[in-house]
């Protein structure tokens, strides 16, 4: 099977998430990275492209040039991965969608609601696919949890608790920390800090597993580090479809927390617990019975989990494989679309999930400014 020719916008020298996306695209051998506009300066873009083995004439100085020239080539890219800071998602995505090139974009959708609406319109006007990499939805035990909820094993959902805690922004970061530099700059990250960076992951995961949308919320956002212009901690109450209630906490100023994404879901018949830092385990407690440990590829793993598992039980899979699952599912959808079939986007996050995330950020900011008043999404 011919590999999908892939391009990348962003992700050049010293970038973190670009390397993750490249690894994810390689794991199952579905893509061949052949072009890139890897930096905002032509010199660094060329340097980064050559370091990755790209041809000099396909290491572009801007995404505009890349979109135009790749679309004109017979061997041009069929998909592009956008791994830039948030404020540079919409422009590149729209440029490639306009030319019929499929887009795989890092989250959150954009930096502002205006950008999000423009991008939503571009997605609807294009025949190309748009995929948003909420990578935690690709974990096998998360797929199993979603399937268990959907099949009624927990009964009607009553309570959802989700948190995403980190500590890497506990102190003010200096200019040498490029990851912190753009994430704490509202011009590049958007008005949301922690809620946009990791809070959207927590929100998306709660909705993905339960199948329930958040209808309204009451948010209390803080910027604990003096001078910080975006939030670094948030406590949010959630009212969800069907009467379920939720609590979401996200923080980047929680010492001792590295990448603490955790989810608990409770229904009439039982509960589920999962932690990203121990992702191969899912705890299931039927009401009135002993707690059960379900392991990835173990005796209790179901078809939904096994479909996105690669190695035998006891061989850990996690962050990179979760990303890879989305890239591989995207590849199947891209091949179907390019062959004239109706693509099965299955559980892939897309523009709808992206807009939900943007509404979550917007509502959280509005609520906090109104002294944690309840606001609708």
Q: Chain centroid to CA 164: how far?
A: 13
Kindly list the domain boundaries of the chain, sorted by start residue. Answer: 4-128, 138-312+357-376
pLDDT at 1 exceeding the cut of 80 = no
DSSP 169: T
Phi then psi dihedrals of residue 132, to 5 deg: -110, 130
Q: Are 13 and 19 in contact (CB under 8 A)?
A: no
| 302 token code pair | 């179901």
Distance CA 180, CA 193 (A): 10
> Given this model, what pLDDT does residue 178 score?
86
The whole-model pTM stands at 0.96
At 15, is the pLDDT very low, low, confident or very high (cuts 50, 70, 90)?
A: confident
pLDDT digits (tens, 9 = 90+) for 82-115: 999 999 999 999 999 999 999 999 999 999 999 9
Contacts of 340 (CB under 8 A, 6+ apart): none
Mean pLDDT of the chain: 97
pLDDT at 175 exceeding the cut of 80 = no
| 23 token code pair | 């690894």
Q: Does domain 4-128 have CATH number 3.40.50.300?
A: no
At 276, is the pLDDT very low, low, confident or very high (cuts 50, 70, 90)?
A: very high
Q: Does domain 138-312+357-376 have CATH number 3.30.360.10?
A: yes
pLDDT digits (tens, 9 = 90+) for 279-313: 999 999 999 999 999 999 999 999 999 999 999 99
């Amino acid at each position: 099977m011919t590999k999908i020719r892939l391009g990348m916008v962003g992700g050049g020298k010293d970038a973190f998430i670009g390397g993750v996306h490249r690894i994810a695209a390689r794991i199952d051998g579905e893509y061949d990275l052949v072009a890139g506009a890897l930096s905002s300066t032509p010199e660094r873009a060329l340097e980064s492209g050559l370091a990755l083995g790209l041809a000099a004439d396909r290491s572009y100085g801007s995404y505009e040039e890349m979109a135009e020239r790749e679309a004109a080539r017979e061997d041009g890219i069929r998909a592009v991965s956008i791994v830039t800071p948030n404020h540079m998602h919409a422009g590149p995505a729209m440029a490639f969608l306009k030319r019929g090139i499929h887009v795989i974009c890092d989250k959150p959708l954009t930096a502002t609601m205006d950008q999000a609406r423009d991008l939503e319109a571009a997605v609807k006007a294009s025949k190309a696919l748009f995929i948003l990499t909420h990578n935690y939805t690709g974990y096998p035990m998360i797929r199993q949890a979603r399937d268990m909820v959907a099949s009624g094993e927990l009964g009607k959902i009553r309570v959802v608790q989700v948190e995403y805690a980190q500590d890497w922004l506990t102190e003010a970061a200096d200019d040498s920390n490029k990851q912190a530099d753009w994430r704490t700059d509202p011009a590049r990250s958007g008005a949301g800090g922690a809620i946009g960076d990791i809070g959207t992951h927590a929100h998306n995961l709660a909705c993905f597993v339960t199948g329930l949308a958040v209808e309204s919320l009451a948010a209390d956002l803080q910027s604990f580090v003096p001078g910080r212009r975006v939030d670094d901690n948030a406590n949010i109450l959630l009212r969800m479809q069907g009467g379920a209630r939720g609590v979401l906490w996200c923080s980047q100023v929680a010492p001792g927390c590295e990448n603490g994404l955790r989810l608990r879901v409770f229904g009439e018949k039982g509960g589920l617990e999962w932690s990203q830092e121990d992702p191969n385990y899912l705890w299931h407690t039927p009401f009135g019975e002993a707690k059960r440990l379900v392991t990835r590829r173990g005796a209790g793993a179901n078809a939904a989990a096994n479909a996105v598992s690669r190695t035998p039980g006891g061989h850990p899979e996690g962050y990179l494989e979760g990303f890879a699952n989305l890239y591989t599912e995207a590849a199947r959808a891209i091949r179907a679309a390019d062959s004239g079939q109706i693509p099965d986007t299955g559980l892939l996050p897309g523009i709808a999930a992206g807009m939900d995330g943007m509404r979550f950020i917007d509502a959280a900011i509005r609520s906090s400014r109104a002294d944690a008043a309840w606001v609708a999404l």
